[in-house]
Structure 1
Amino acid sequence: MHATTARHTASPSRRSIHTPQRALTLCAALALLVSTSAFARDRHDPAIDASLANGLRPTVLQSNAALPKWSLQARMAEHHVPGVAIAVLRDGKLVHSAGYGAREAGARSGVDADTLFSVGSVSKVVTAATTLRLASEGKLALDQDINTYLRSWKVPATPTVPAPKLTLRMLMSHTGGLGVHGFADYLPGEPLSTLLQTLDGTAPAKNKPIRLVHTPGERSDYSGGGVMVEQQVLEDVTGQSLDAIARAQVFDPLGMQRSRYTDPQPDTDNIAKAHDGEGALTALPRGWQSFPEQAASGLWTSASDMAAFVAALTASYRGQGNFLPRPIATDMMTEVSPSWHGLGPRLDGAGQTRIFHHGGSNDSYRAWIEGYLETGDGLVILTNGENGAELAAEIRNALSDAMGHGVNPPVRTVGLDLRDTRYADYAGIFERDENIPMDQRRALADFFDIPALQVKVANGEVRVGMAGAPRDGQVLPLSPNRFVSPDIDGLQIEFLRDAGGKVSVLTVVHGEGRARYVRKP
């Protein structure tokens, strides 16, 4: 099954920015030393090693299928991903951080926990933390009209929103109503856009202008464009580049010595190079793309650095750290209705299974971070291949199983004879019920914004796709009337048979989100 989601592209640096070095106080220097010693070395945990040796698996399994017990090495080869870096936290402490494979296909340069990777949209969470640190110092207010902060650029009015009022809370939670989902990468030698060119969509920027497409606050619509407006707020308020602000607010306090929002130089050591879907080196001659949309997708970092970041967020939330004041950390980790996001990260679960997470996806790099808010556990997965998202999902499954919280268990289908005529009336065209409030649709209003679905039942399969489109996908039974998509993680479809025996409604379910579709007469 295929949704209409645009790719979460990202972008790092653009201009050569002079970053002034801040003098560290003795306390800051000691904090940096402690953080560096805690998070800088490769280390191995036997349980994690075992899970990576024979614990990778898909999310959806057939009813009678045994767990495949894939090895990381075998799946890297299957997905043509040359290099991976993985870090795992237990109770806020780093227990595993290591690299696997090569920084460059065919070379002998191995990945380690300090290898530099592009992390795509994971950048947004670090940008959000930068903003929240400034808010904790009283330099920004989360619910103030951002036009009072902006000096270099203003949010343009539209016919439907003649006097736009957006806030940082809206920008970080993707409820601001701005467009431009993601950004295209730039190859070596291509001219890079400035921040203002990105905001206005003027050459050499590759994106459309960042403009309002919805009334602010009315719906969830993932917007890398909105995060670029957040960057402009940060730079206008401080008079510094994003890289300088993040270094002072995040990188230096947490000892993230490898992290940067600017392009690595060609002589940068220990960098994971970019690879295409066949595992071949790309973006030559340098070996990696540029991402001028820094706040949205331009962060370069390492598994060790990101582990320190995840640990700092969970510690702040638990009242065990002072990176963020606990009330602000709690705000960060609370959904902003009607979004799936808090202030930066996405959020799922409740109680001991409450997690924050975010993925990143540039052309040749895929990344994933996840933190367990009640326990302080967490994980980081960085890859340097176009197919890294599929691999990262399998690694996440293995790590989740090893950590034992039951957050991401395998979903087993059931055996149904879908050739039975009782399932024939699932077929048809179902139109979305627009009366369902956005706070119930949540993320489905964004990544599954499909006005009508077509269901086909034939050859023992149920297939679902966008009405009128040639592509569809098989959904697999979890019960006689509930089906799961193997293509879209966590997406399920339920056919509702009423008291008269008719199926006139189906619901699409993703986490806490619900969308209702009614059979077209």
Structure 2
Amino acid sequence: MLSEIDRIVAAEIDLQGPGVAIAVVKDGKMIHSAGYGFANLEWSCPIEPDTVFRLASVTKQFTAVAIMLLEKQGKLRLDDSITTYLPDYPTHGRTITITNLLNHTSGIKSYTSLDNFFQEISKKDMLPGDVVAYFKDLPLEFEPGTRYSYNNSGYHLLGLIIEKITSMGYEQFIQQHIFQPLEMNRSYYMHNETIVPRRASGYERVGEMYRHAEYLNTSIPYAAGALGATVEDLVRWDAALREERLLDTATLERMYTPTRLADGRLEEYGLGFRVTEYAGHRLIGHGGGIPGFHTFIARFVDDQAMIVVLANAPEINVERITRKIARYIFELPPVVRTSVTLSEATLDKAVGAYVGENGFLLEVRRDGERLTTQGFINDSLLPMSEETYYTSEDNEFELHFSEEQAGVYNTLTLRIPIYRTFTASRKQG
């Protein structure tokens, strides 16, 4: 008999294509662990709970915990300048701390946002430190600590700091100090060349067909995104954090505390973990995307609950699957939205292109009596009020327009539950 979770997944994926592995913990106990779809399309190998997936940026929480372990051992302090450990790194006359790297407030340019970066080097054979040459001499985007901007360069540098302090490779440190003690025996640094038993192949959809995802040298994601694991190993990870087997409660709460910027604003990110809530439940989580894979881990720490969804195709909406499962295990009613009718003149206030950080771009257009979007999301918008809309495909996506001047809105805020909030400004000209 199909469970409710089975039905949720069946509504979200093509069960004959790439798929997902899912594990669900409630009240500290695993209540569901299963695979859906295929780990390898050529051999029709099904996904199982012990299938190994690339974690992409879910890697960052392991890197952050490794840094906190070194702090616990007295080998670093979070307010140390990164030049204490990487003396040749140019900070352009600014002080950039380890905390700035952990919470994405360093101002360093993220290498994944560089034009043509992946096209130029994704297939090159290089060492992790070689990637630093692509961003180290670029000017800072802002004064450290004054803004939040999601940044893979910072986590790349954290991996190098771990290596410098410990005189061992990042991979070896993670294996010896995290994976092995926690008996995460199906977790790895995902070298392309290594034989990893039950490794999922990564795919991408082109039209109605799937093809293998583009090759990516794992020295590029490195400490920002090169680890892999099974959903059941991530259940062990959640339990170890909950039971304080690596770090004490006080340290974890520091990691789970939102970042306060220099001007007092709070950002929904701590130290290696995204810090938010869903339907009144505190959520400590992270998502990840890398060629061929899309991942999400949501830890509802006050409820001793956890949902992890690992997919081997980036088109699979792991965040929505997570939200649907969360509503099921917390017995929450469906989200109901009611749209209103607005005049074309009112709709036109929102029309325009909005630009935010990390390449965020959303163009709002009017098509008769409705608004549509292109860019970060491609959908129709349904108004709940003059300033607030939801998307037709996913009614939990909420857009809020503000700062009306000269008959148009100048700021857009896009709230994606459990994922993040984006703020963008109207593009001038």
What TM-score, normalized by structure 2, do the two folds share? 0.83
Q: After superposition, where does 1:48-447 map in structure 2 within 5 Å?
A: 50-54=3-7, 56=8, 72-73=9-10, 75-77=12-14, 81-150=17-86, 154-158=88-92, 163-180=93-110, 182=112, 190-201=123-134, 212-263=140-191, 265=193, 267-278=195-206, 280-282=210-212, 289-292=216-219, 293-313=221-241, 315=242, 320-338=243-261, 339-349=267-277, 353-388=281-316, 390=317, 392-404=318-330, 406=332, 411-418=335-342, 420=343, 423=346, 426=349, 446-447=357-358
Distance in 1 (alpha carbons) for counterparts of 2:353 and 2:202 = 42
Map of 1:436 onto structure 2: none
Change (3 A) 1:459 1:98: same
SS of structure 2 residue aligned to 1:179: coil
Map of 2:264 onto structure 1: none
Distance in 2 (alpha carbons) for counterparts of 1:486 and 1:412 = 12
Q: Once the 2 structures are TM-superposed, how far is the Cα of residue 83 of structure 1 from its aligned partner?
A: 3.1
The answer to whether the 8 A contact 2:292-2:313 is kept is: yes
- Structure 1 residues 401-427: Cα deviation after superposition (integer angstroms, max 9, x where no partner): 221165xx7544424334x35635525
Structure 2 counterpart of 1:182, which letter?
T
When structure 1 is superposed on structure 2, of 124-133 and 471-480 the one drifting more is 471-480
Distance in 1 (alpha carbons) for counterparts of 2:426 and 2:292 = 40
The answer to whether the 8 A contact 1:358-1:369 is kept is: yes
Change (3 A) 1:112 1:178: same
SS of structure 1 residue aligned to 2:12: helix
Structure 2 counterpart of 1:174, which letter?
H
Change (3 A) 1:398 1:491: closer
Distance in 2 (alpha carbons) for counterparts of 1:249 and 1:236 = 16
Gaps of 5+ in 2: 262-266
SS of structure 1 residue aligned to 2:160: helix
Change (3 A) 1:138 1:211: farther
Q: Once the 2 structures are TM-superposed, how far is the Cα of residue 399 of structure 1 from its aligned partner?
A: 0.9
Map of 1:459 onto structure 2: 368
Distance in 2 (alpha carbons) for counterparts of 1:258 and 1:142 = 31
Structure 1 counterpart of 2:412, which letter?
V
The answer to whether the 8 A contact 1:259-1:302 is kept is: yes
What TM-score, normalized by structure 1, do the two folds share? 0.69
Structure 1 counterpart of 2:3, which letter?
A
Structure 2 counterpart of 1:156, which letter?
P
Q: Once the 2 structures are TM-superposed, how far is the Cα of residue 174 of structure 1 from its aligned partner?
A: 0.5
- 1:478 maps onto 2:384 in alignment: yes
Gaps of 5+ in 1: 1-45, 57-71, 202-206, 433-444
Q: Once the 2 structures are TM-superposed, how far is the Cα of residue 253 of structure 1 from its aligned partner?
A: 2.0
- The higher-RCO structure (CA 8 Å, 6+ apart) is 1
Change (3 A) 1:290 1:302: farther
Distance in 2 (alpha carbons) for counterparts of 1:507 and 1:427 = 9
Structure 2 counterpart of 1:367, which letter?
T
Q: Once the 2 structures are TM-superposed, how far is the Cα of residue 90 of structure 1 from its aligned partner?
A: 1.3
The answer to whether the 8 A contact 2:112-2:118 is kept is: no
Map of 1:493 onto structure 2: 400
SS of structure 2 residue aligned to 1:349: strand
Q: Once the 2 structures are TM-superposed, how far is the Cα of residue 106 of structure 1 from its aligned partner?
A: 3.9
The answer to whether the 8 A contact 1:220-1:446 is kept is: no
The answer to whether the 8 A contact 1:242-1:295 is kept is: yes
The answer to whether the 8 A contact 2:354-2:411 is kept is: no
Distance in 1 (alpha carbons) for counterparts of 2:275 and 2:384 = 24
Change (3 A) 1:138 1:343: same
Identity %: 23
Change (3 A) 1:456 1:510: closer
Q: Once the 2 structures are TM-superposed, how far is the Cα of residue 94 of structure 1 from its aligned partner?
A: 2.1
Q: Which has the higher strand share?
A: 2
- Structure 1 residues 317-348: Cα deviation after superposition (integer angstroms, max 9, x where no partner): xxx43321111100110111243310011111
Change (3 A) 1:222 1:309: same
Map of 2:413 onto structure 1: 509
- Structure 1 residues 453-491: Cα deviation after superposition (integer angstroms, max 9, x where no partner): 87544411124569xx9x975322123441124589744
The answer to whether the 8 A contact 1:119-1:297 is kept is: yes
Distance in 2 (alpha carbons) for counterparts of 1:402 and 1:370 = 14
Change (3 A) 1:504 1:269: closer
The answer to whether the 8 A contact 1:186-1:192 is kept is: no
SS of structure 1 residue aligned to 2:314: coil
Change (3 A) 1:99 1:520: closer
Change (3 A) 1:178 1:144: same
The answer to whether the 8 A contact 2:388-2:398 is kept is: no
The answer to whether the 8 A contact 2:344-2:369 is kept is: no
Distance in 1 (alpha carbons) for counterparts of 2:299 and 2:217 = 28
